[in-house]
Amino acid sequence: MSVMETVRPRVLRPPKDKKRRRLQLVGLAVIALFGVALWQTGFTPWNVWGRMDSVVNLIDRMMPPSFVDWQRYVVAVIETLWMVLAGTAIALVLAVPVSALAARNITTGPVAYNICRFIITLTRAVPSLVFALIFVRAIGVGPTAGVLAMGISSIGMIGKFFADRIEEIDMGIVEASRASGATRIQTFFSAVLPQVMTNWISLSLYRIDINLRSAVILGFVGAGGIGLELQRVQGQMVYTRVMAIAIIIFVLVLLTERLSAMARAAVLGREAPAKENPFSLRAMYRGLTARRAGRGGAAPLGAAQAGARDADLQRARTPAWRRPKAEGRISVGWDVFRLRRWIMGVSAVVLTVGSFVLLGFGPVQLIAAIQDIVPYVVSMFPPDFVTNFTRHLDLMLETIWMALAATVLGLIISLPIGILGAKNATFHPIAEKLARFSTVVVRGMPELIIAVLLVVAFGMGPLAGVLALTIGSIGLAGKLIADTIEDTDLSKQNEAMRAVGSSWLQRTVTSTIPTVMPGIVGVGLYMFDVFVRAATVMGIVGAGGIGLALDASIRGRQMDQTLALIIMIFITVYATERFSGWLRRQIL
């Protein structure tokens, strides 16, 4: 007697993947920590919605904006722009030797390498607002403190990027220069710098955009510019003028971002090829040249001497300054692209020199500032970690909770905006343009300026800081997620899902999001790293975190505690950056 056995169909499961398992565990841990962060920062629905009346009241008090003192605002805006140019120029000059010595392939030795890498790490970890606080107390209120703060804090980003790019250059050119007997400096300017000049220019223009956002914030602590005007009217509680200055900052940031992008395209990116634009003058010129070159073909042998004689006669009639150069010499030649680069380069030098002159910031002022800053910094030693240690530790933990809460909230809000802003994932071109426009609009207002307004509405504490960072994350995370999705090929799977009748929402949930999930996680880790830096200074305007204790210690001239707090900020930011990098390697 045979027994019939029932064979159950096997359930298909994806193969076991360690990184997938780690990603799931990290996701569960983030959800748990996110709940703790919301509770610790007071970001609860009843706290937010319960204070919406204050927000409405603040908006009523800010409208309509008053531009009565527009002359002062124009002067402050111009001063801000000069500060940005001067601070960026100082950073570029200082970052060149630091980045050269921080590159493994051209450094002079391990000592110089480690020292310069430490300088890069320190200036990247400590926010520019912290430098501005110290310099304002040391040398007084004014743009000099802001210029120095921007210059020093920008060394980290420029130096790291520049050093990494130098490590990728072709060492064959460098070795050839050394073999010809060139010194280190000659080798750098003749063999290294030309290979990274394009990246250097691009980063310089991008850093101007970043420094403008910093400049409008630095003035709030007395470092000059439009931020100083914002501090004045905010202290007077004239909120109609606060709104006016906020609008000016918004427009200024957006215009600078746009002009910076246009300058990068004009200096670095050539226009479309002539064959793609047959109506351009360049295309007509190239076509005419090609026709002239191919018109005659090979000359008959009998006409060779006559052609040479005519050429000699033509050369004799041509003035010397218009004659072609002797054979064997190589000349780059001048085209529209090269001429434009030279014009913009000379203009940049003139504007930069003019910024120092108009700000009254020269070698004498620099030496005087250093003479004031050095004793002030020396007075901070030794650091005092004992006094108020428990309170400072609580505020530092509060800073981390603020960054974590804002990161997760920002991802939740920015994910649909990023999907709608990606051309290959949106459901309509109008939705894509609106989503991209929303990210641009939000990027126009720095987070600290938003925090200043939210502190008035929600009161002092971490809630205002979390809200400010969350709003600011829409511009950053929304753009990064949209760019990540556009860099991913979704055409085949979208066509397959359309063939089975799936809707746009079904394709988004079951195909787009799972495909780009590693990129979204990478954006989240980057945002957390950025927000830890940003949260450390939120307390300076009363929006929670360690910045509150830092500002109080500087105002109270407790310099040993100030240094201890700066060291705590440095360790926290550096540890967060290292942890984010390690976690990224483990799960991506």
pLDDT in tens, 159-168: 988 888 898 8
pLDDT of residue 12: 59
pLDDT > 90: percent of the chain: 20
List pLDDT tens digits, range 378-413: 888 899 888 888 999 999 999 999 999 999 999 999
Residue given tokens 């000659």 in the structure block: 186
Residue type, 137: R
Q: Which two tokens stand for residue 292?
A: 């002239």
Residue 348 confidence (pLDDT) above 90: no
- CA torsion angle 309 314 320 323 (round to 10): -90
Alpha helices in 140-225 (DSSP H): 143-166, 171-179, 184-187, 193-218
**Averaged pLDDT, 534-546:** 88
CATH 1.10.3720.10 residue spans of the chain: 18-50+391-587, 70-273+336-373
Per-residue model confidence (pLDDT) at position 321: 47
CB 405 within 8 A of CB 581: no
Q: Where are the alpha helices (DSSP H) in 536-558?
A: 547-555
Q: Is the dihedral of CA 382, 138, 93, 249 positive or negative?
A: positive
The fold of 70-273+336-373 is MetI-like fold (1.10.3720)
Residue 152 has pLDDT above 90, yes or no: yes
How many percent of the chain have pLDDT more than 70? 85
pLDDT value at position 400? 94
User: What whole-number distance in Å separates Cα of residue 219 and Cα of residue 227?
Assistant: 4
Please tell me the least confidently modeled range out of 9-18, 215-224, 229-238, 506-515: 9-18
What's the mean per-residue pLDDT of the chain?
A: 82
- Burial category of 492 from C-beta neighbours within 10 Å (exposed 0-12, middle 13-18, buried 19 and up): exposed
Contacts of 289 (CB under 8 A, 6+ apart): none
d(CA 163, CA 96) in angstroms, rounded, equals 9
Alpha helices (runs of H) in 360-461, residue ranges in sequence order: 363-378, 389-421, 429-443, 447-458
Rounded to a whole number of angstroms, the CA Rg of the chain reads 30
The region that residue 544 occupies, defined by phi over 0 for left and psi between -120 and 50 for alpha, beta otherwise, is left
- CB count, 10 Å around CB of 431? 13
Q: Is the pLDDT of residue 77 over 50?
A: yes
Residue 283 has pLDDT above 60, yes or no: no
* Secondary structure string (H, E, C) spanning 20-71: HHHHHHHHHHHHHHHHHHHHHHCCCHHHHHCCHHHHHHHHHHHCCCCCCCHH
What is the predicted pLDDT for the residue at 94? 92
C-alpha dihedral (229, 232, 233, 235), degrees to nearest 10: 150
Burial 459-488 (b: 16+ CB within 10 A, else e): eebbbbbbbbbbbbbbbbbbbbbbebbbee
Question: For residue 501, is it left (φ>0), alpha (ψ between -120 and 50) or beta?
Answer: left
Chain length of the chain? 588
pLDDT higher at 257 or 87: 87
Whether 92 contacts 158, CB under 8 Å: yes
When pLDDT is averaged across residues 154-159 and rounded to a whole number, the result is 90
Helix axes 239-268, 447-458, angle to 10 degrees: 160
How many Å apart are CA 172 and CA 194, to the nearest integer? 14
Tell me which H or E stretch contains 127: none
Q: In the predicted model, what is the mean pLDDT of residues 130-156?
A: 90
Residue 211 to residues 131, 326, 399, 423, 446, Cα–Cα distance (Å): 14, 48, 23, 30, 11
Which has more confidence, 468 or 290?
468
Residue corresponding to tokens 């000592």: 111
Are the CB atoms for 404 and 528 separated by under 8 Å? Answer: yes
What's the first-to-final CA gap in the chain, in angstroms?
Answer: 56
The answer to whether the beta carbons of residues 131 and 153 sit under 8 Å apart is yes
CATH class of 18-50+391-587: mainly alpha
pLDDT at 130 over 80: yes
Handedness of CA 140, 146, 152, 156 (dihedral sign): positive
CB contact at 8 A, 191 and 173: yes
Please check whether residue 178 is in contact with residue 90, taking contact to mean a CB–CB distance below 8 angstroms. no
Helix axes of 52-62 and 239-268: crossing angle, nearest 10 degrees: 80
Cβ proximity of 579 and 126 under 8 Å:
no
Confidence of residue 328 (pLDDT cuts 50, 70, 90): low
CA distance 264 to 202: 6
Instruction: Please give the angle made by the CA atoms of 118, 119 and 122, to the nearest 5 degrees.
Output: 80
Q: How many CB atoms lie within 10 A of CB 168?
A: 12
Report pLDDT digits (tens) over 474-490: 888 888 898 888 888 88
pLDDT band at 282 (very low <50, low <70, confident <90, very high): very low
- Alpha-carbon span 150 to 80, nearest angstrom: 12
Q: How many whole angstroms separate alpha carbon 472 and alpha carbon 450?
A: 8
Whether 4 shows a pLDDT value over 70: the answer reads no
Q: Which residues contact 485 (CB under 8 A, 6 or more apart)?
A: 418, 419, 422, 424, 425, 512, 516, 519
